[in-house]
Amino acid sequence: MTTTFASPRGAADASAGFPAHGYIDVNAQLGPRFGGASGAPIEDVTREARAHGIQYSLVRHRTALVGESELGNRALLDACEDDAGLVPVAVLSVDRTGDMDRAARLAARVAGFWLEGRAVPGSGLAAEAVVRAAARTGRPLFVPISGWGSATAIGAATEGLGVPVVLVGSHYTTSVEDLAAGRRYDHLHLDTSSMAHFRAIETAVGVIGAERVLLGTGSPLRAIQSSLNAILSAAIPEEAKRSILAGNAARLFGLPTGPLELPEVVRPERAFDVHTHSGPLPWDVPDLDDDALMPELAHRTGTRYAVASSVLAIAADLEAGNRRTVEGCARMPDRLGYLVADPNHIDASRDQLRRWGDAPGIVGVKVHTQWSARHTGSPQIAALFEVLADHGRPVKIHNDGPDWDQHLLRIARRHRRLPIIIAHAGLGFPNLEGALIARQADNLYAEMSSSFAHLPTVRQFLRTIPRERILFGTDAPLLDPAFVLGTYQDAQIPGADQPGVYWDNAARLFGIS
């Protein structure tokens, strides 16, 4: 059975000088101002959407996700009554045995159903009745990907129900399995909210087709510009971009469409990327050798210099990886390098710093506490920094472990003349703690590369850290540099500070005129 959804009354208001590009965002959320479901007040939802040219935002209510679904769904419907640009998606919990008629009661007022809970489709019998009841309404289903194999289980459990299923949150840690599931089950679709890895859009389009990829952003908790940049800069036909940005959602959810704009991605006049890698990488991203990386960075982010560390040195072979970095820097003048230092092999790290630390293009050191399984507060990291302080070049550290910020602050205060860059501005994504310790030690810097940066935290981070110590980094070619650029662009960096963030601060730190 298919129930006709009452389409919105008209396009979202494009007032206040905001552009109206005609996009449809299938993954937005709203919530209360206070409490565990806070962070997405309706004013933020609509402001972010209109600032980025979003015509319709499919929204769910965070209270329904983490609290009470009935209350959250009622609040959602009330909010959407007052704004034609908000299209409601009701949340159904699959973790409780309950009223199987609730989906039918809501169907005429919503565009789809978001299935939330531990009992995801395919994980057992608990979700089956709820899923079938929702599917009988004819509404598309949204199901978050919950780890490796989740997409396949969801596809198998929803095959034959006669409704599209949008898998939410495909990430480089699961993408190869997600695409395999999409190849097997043609009712599965992917949203772009976590497709931050390099050429993720191109790869998905090549495997399952552009007609099954939909713009999703996670707004207002995630940067809308990240997903837009990734789609607009992808090497796919313009018609495919139009389908992803609006056409597919209009077809699946019965929404009207108008003219759709494909603006150029806005790039900094010049950028200095302090966080890149040489591969190959052990994830589902295309291999990109050092010679090909710099043109990609220039095209996607306006980057003129980039500092790279070797994934081989971080993960497997310290000497072979560092040797490749030295050789790459000698060959390419715009490609600079970090030597990797390993806290498990301090003597070997000291020896390689002596041999290669002054080689052409080698400008610093990379330390990865997660891959080395030595937390920031470990004795091994403390001992390694004694060696790095003697070397004196800037150190970029990927942190891990409890109280990482206080341990790093202690290290920074002990070695006050040693510049230290906080990779990802925290534990894989910007944490306010990183900005707070940078205010207490003037040798601490940070860059904000991440595949899941929390936008309100990013903005608070930028308001807290001394502006002369924020750097631009992308984690390419693991991450799509255009996706990460979107985080910076939505961070509300004042115009006068942008040259420093994108170029001046790093050029000064690494001695590039």
What is the rounded distance in angstroms from the CA atom of residue 375 to the CA atom of residue 399? 7
State the residue for tokens 């129930």.
3
- 139 Cβ neighbours under 8 A, 6+ residues apart: 3, 5, 103, 107, 110, 111, 112, 113, 163
How high is the pLDDT of residue 434?
A: 97
What is the rounded distance in angstroms from the CA atom of residue 345 to the CA atom of residue 337? 20
Residue 465 near residue 230 (C-beta atoms within 8 A): no
Q: pLDDT: is 78 or 123 the higher one?
A: 78
How many other C-beta atoms are found inside a 10 Å radius of the C-beta of residue 406? 13
Q: Indicate if 271-510 has the same CATH topology as 23-253.
A: yes
What is the rounded distance in angstroms from the CA atom of residue 154 to the CA atom of residue 27? 18
How high is the pLDDT of residue 303?
A: 96
Res 465 pLDDT > 60: yes
pLDDT tens digit sequence for 303-317: 999 999 999 999 999
How high is the pLDDT of residue 403?
A: 97
CATH superfamily of 271-510: Metal-dependent hydrolases (3.20.20.140)
Our measurement of the distance from residue 7's CA atom to the centroid of its chain's CA atoms, rounded to an integer in Å, reads 31
What is the rounded distance in angstroms from the CA atom of residue 22 to the CA atom of residue 2? 26
Q: What's the per-residue H, E or C state across 200-241?
A: HHHHHHHHHCHHHEECCCCECCCCHHHHHHHHHCCCCCHHHH
How high is the pLDDT of residue 183?
A: 97
How high is the pLDDT of residue 98?
A: 66
Res 82 pLDDT > 80: yes
What is the rounded distance in angstroms from the CA atom of residue 474 to the CA atom of residue 93? 36
Q: What's the per-residue H, E or C state across 306-373?
A: EEEEEHHHHHCCHHHHHHHHHHHHHHCCCEEEEEECCCCCHHHHHHHHHHHCCCCCEEEEEEEHHHHC
Res 20 pLDDT > 80: no
How high is the pLDDT of residue 16?
A: 46
Minimal CA–CA distance to 326: which of 355, 369, 296?
355
For the structural domain made of 23-253, what CATH number should be given? 3.20.20.140
Give the confidence band of 472 by pLDDT, cuts at 50, 70, 90: very high
Domain spans in the chain, listed from the N-terminal domain onward: 23-253, 271-510
Q: In the 8-state DSSP scheme, what is residue 141?
A: E
How high is the pLDDT of residue 13?
A: 46
How high is the pLDDT of residue 288?
A: 84
Q: What is the mean pLDDT of the chain?
A: 93
How high is the pLDDT of residue 513?
A: 80
What is the rounded distance in angstroms from the CA atom of residue 513 to the CA atom of residue 511? 6
Q: What is the mean pLDDT of residues 162-190?
A: 97
Give the confidence band of 11 by pLDDT, cuts at 50, 70, 90: very low
Query: Taking the model in full, what pTM does it have?
Result: 0.95
